[in-house]
Amino acid sequence: MVGHVGSRKLNLILEIYGTARDAFMAEHNEMVRSAALTANAAGLFSRNRNLGYIEELLRSMENQGIAYFSREHERFPALLKEIPDAPVGVFCMGTLPSDNTHKVAVIGSRKCSEYGLMAARLLSKPLAQSGVVVVSGMARGVDSMAHRGAIQGGGKTIAVLGCGVDICYPSENRHLRDEIINNGCVLSEYPPGTTPTPAYFPARNRIISGLSQGVVVSEAGKKSGTLITVDQAIEQGREVFAVPGNISSYLSAGTNQLIRDGATPVSDYTDILFALGISLENSAPEKTFEKNSKIILAPDEKQVYDSLNFEPVSMDMLMEITDVAAGQLHYICTQLELKGLARRLHGSRYVKNN
């Protein structure tokens, strides 16, 4: 009914009238006099005061498996209730993890490097294996990889959207969205049918940090929108973590600046658990090579594998740092790909595949 009225104004309305029912029943002139709404907004509110519309919306939500939790509902997240300008309610598709689960946001830029993507997955996967719910925004780049890492770790994840939960944005994430719903939920303060608008995304970011005990920035440039979430996390009193990046990479300028400003540097998921006081008892994911310990590598293969990292390495560089002949090097890289230990990128560059 009030999809175009911001959460601050909605909170003011509830403060003035006490309950949503009393606000719904308030007269147009009374709402204007109380300074809850402008004349135009009160007119919109009055025109939409239609129980038939609400009943139809509820039926549609039920058919789509969409739940709504008001701030007074027992399922509304307790951490989110504490933040300034908390949403009056959230729409949910999937299963909202309970308050007794630990939650950590893993976020970063849409335009990111292979390093940023790898860092997001290498942190999200073991966090999920440790029982931590990974929260992110389902955007392209780091956010999507954070969700995928959590799912690969067999854990739960929450995607907070800047549109209605019935709308998949970006559209290419439809399969990922379905996986998130099956392994957690998608969440939004915006009613079903609300299309994505640039103004909605900074607002949804406060929910990402508000749901979480801490916020981890995998990779971000100096002007990345991700830093808006960091500002909100600091305002909410959340712990901020950042993955150190290559000092020559503009894509890591934002995360390196965060560390200079006091964010906790992260090189392993256990850094996050320790800082947040989360028990390490159930968190012992296998290391990459230990997990693949049954894979037997020839000496040349192991030399090339050990020369790879999570920054792309070119064939020319591999020839310089190994003593493997060029023809044999191509064959070895292909074998490492087939064994799932390496991944080939555009331009004959390789990275470790975990």
Angle at 213 between CA 225 and CA 211, to 5 degrees: 65
Count Cβ atoms below 10 Å from residue 338 Cβ, excluding itself.
9
Q: Please write the tens of the pLDDT for every residue from 57-116.
A: 899 999 999 999 999 999 999 999 999 899 999 999 999 999 999 999 999 999 999 899
pLDDT tens digit sequence for 118-157: 999 999 999 999 999 999 999 999 999 999 999 999 999 9
Q: Provide the pLDDT confidence category of residue 288 given band limits of 50, 70 and 90.
A: very low
**Cα(290)–Cα(345) distance, rounded to whole angstroms?**
24
CB neighbourhood size of 264 (10 A): 17
* DSSP H stretches of helix in 277-324: 288-291, 299-307, 315-321
Query: In which band, very low, low, confident or very high, does the pLDDT at 290 lie, cut at 50, 70 and 90?
Result: very low
Query: pTM to 2 decimals?
Result: 0.83
What pLDDT does 289 receive?
Answer: 43
pLDDT score of 162 more than 80: yes
For residue 54, which amino acid is it?
I
Portion of the chain with pLDDT greater than 90, in percent: 57
Residue 50: its pLDDT value, please?
78
pLDDT at 286 over 90: no
- 83: helix, coil or strand? coil
- Judged against a pLDDT cut of 70, whether residue 176 lies above it is answered with yes
At residue 16, the pLDDT reads: 87
Confidence check: pLDDT of 354 > 60: yes
Between 8 and 354, where is the model more confident?
Answer: 8
User: What would the mean pLDDT of 9-23 be, rounded to a whole number?
Assistant: 87
- The model's confidence at residue 352, banded by pLDDT at 50, 70 and 90, is confident
Contact status, residue 7 vs residue 203, Cβ threshold 8 Å: yes
Buried b (16+ CB within 10 A) or exposed e, 22-45: ebeebeeeebbeeebbeeebbebb
